[in-house]
Structure 1
């Protein structure tokens, strides 16, 4: 039940007020309260919910965070912001910005690798001048660190036929040349875009065909656009996130309209 309307500008907010100001429906407000996205509303003696402006800020912050990192991670992060120190909260939000920036950079690297593959296909030569020249070859540990994945992930991709390393020494230690590094960057971008192993395998297998190159290019362009959209969602949530963090340090801010 919702508390009846009041003529006082500082009266507690009703569920319908919070819904209108946050952009969620009344039922969504209740569901998100149940999930812990916003603090539990106070209850009057007759059971009516009463909210504060902080609940509106928290819901708006959640909308932006969910758009940036997904609903589950957004719920976890909001819980951290409400319980941690200002320094911890700032670090947590900054980590999201860093994550998005890294995803964008990896996708751009994948695009450059794809252009090099196109150049090879066009010239029918082993010209890899378009690839990154961070090194002539990388060990599995170096490549895993560069891509922010585990070495076991690269081994799994090898088993699935996605990335083929060079094998050297009698111990069969894996080393990845520039072509393999470029392929691995494309795999990272495709996996980050939500494509499953079968779809990635098909894409990687089709890179020597013009249609395969075009489709993978389209996927990577869409990936860059998605990351930009997620980044904008995080930026829009900025002031609301700041209010949530401030309220954790000074509960009186919850009453600020």
Structure 2
């Protein structure tokens, strides 16, 4: 008996939704395993390559092309436990982005309704290292935002160490969400300066709502990629298709 007929580049392109050139490019970038070569020198693909390309499409929609390439390359050599953990980490990352956007939304609502700073407990403060860790940014980023007038910490102790009170923490959460949504420093500064005006929070509220919608869409894309990712993971330890 003969084995399955090898797939040509055009076959893989048709099955995956990519063009033949994109298939070759993604192979070169390591998204899919190197194709075997037939006696006449043409690429010979397998269904494993198609599954990997479909998984890449969903991952790219969920976490971006760079992270998608890195993840698929990692899955090909990982153990089952390591591969499952890598996919779980992607879900955790999206959940963290959603939580941070929701915290920014609550901080914005507190400013809008003038109910005081939120969502941190009254009187609670954070150091620059603590706040940077909570937001997932570098301390140098917070210093830059301070220079740009986006987040203004309190300064205490004779060494003038930065302490961030509830209002500054809320502002930092809003800035983080606006920057993650792709807005440059000038636009963020304009929004932050407008928050205490009667009509000011509207723009920030719309941005945060759209960001939450995009995160939801990315989460759905990751869920849709799940079946293909499972196939990639389970086939990683199998011998190549004949």
- TM-score computed with the length of structure 2 as normaliser: 0.93
SS in 1 for 2:121: coil
The aligned counterpart of 1:3 is: none
Shift, 1:134, TM fit: 7.8
Whether 2:26 is the aligned partner of 1:38: answer: no
Structure 2, unaligned runs of 5 or more: none
Residues in 2 aligned to 1:206 and 1:147: alpha-carbon distance in whole angstroms: 22
SS in 2 for 1:174: strand
The aligned counterpart of 1:133 is: 121
Whether 2:103 is the aligned partner of 1:103: answer: no
The aligned counterpart of 2:188 is: 200
- TM-score computed with the length of structure 1 as normaliser: 0.88
Q: Contact 2:76–2:233 at 8 Å: present in 1 too?
A: yes
CA offsets 1:8-42 (integer angstroms, 9 cap, x no match): 99211122221122111222212212222111222
Residues in 2 aligned to 1:197 and 1:130: alpha-carbon distance in whole angstroms: 23
SS in 1 for 2:155: strand
Q: Once superposed, what is the RMSD of the aligned Cα atoms?
A: 1.8
Q: Contact 2:55–2:229 at 8 Å: present in 1 too?
A: yes
The aligned counterpart of 1:123 is: none
Whether 2:44 is the aligned partner of 1:80: answer: no
Residues in 2 aligned to 1:9 and 1:130: alpha-carbon distance in whole angstroms: 64
SS in 2 for 1:251: coil
Distance 1:134-1:99 versus aligned 2 partners, 3 A rule: farther
The aligned counterpart of 1:60 is: 54
Q: Contact 1:131–1:179 at 8 Å: present in 2 too?
A: no
Q: Contact 1:81–1:248 at 8 Å: present in 2 too?
A: yes
- Choose which of 212, 221, 232 in structure 2 pairs with 1:233: 221
Residues in 1 aligned to 2:3 and 2:77: alpha-carbon distance in whole angstroms: 29
Distance 1:134-1:232 versus aligned 2 partners, 3 A rule: farther
Residues in 2 aligned to 1:129 and 1:72: alpha-carbon distance in whole angstroms: 37
CA offsets 1:29-66 (integer angstroms, 9 cap, x no match): 12212222111222212222221000010001101111
Shift, 1:72, TM fit: 1.1
Residues in 2 aligned to 1:129 and 1:149: alpha-carbon distance in whole angstroms: 21
- Choose which of 22, 25, 39 in structure 2 pairs with 1:28: 22
1:74-223 to 2 correspondence within 5 Å? 74-120=68-114, 127-128=115-116, 130-133=118-121, 136-223=124-211
Residues in 1 aligned to 2:199 and 2:6: alpha-carbon distance in whole angstroms: 59
Shift, 1:109, TM fit: 0.4
Shift, 1:130, TM fit: 4.7
Number of residues paired by the alignment? Answer: 241
After alignment, is 54-63 or 162-171 more displaced? 162-171
Structure 1, unaligned runs of 5 or more: 1-7, 121-126
After alignment, is 168-177 or 215-224 more displaced? 168-177
Residues in 1 aligned to 2:101 and 2:173: alpha-carbon distance in whole angstroms: 8
CA offsets 1:92-148 (integer angstroms, 9 cap, x no match): 11111111000000000000000111112xxxxxx3165332862222222122212
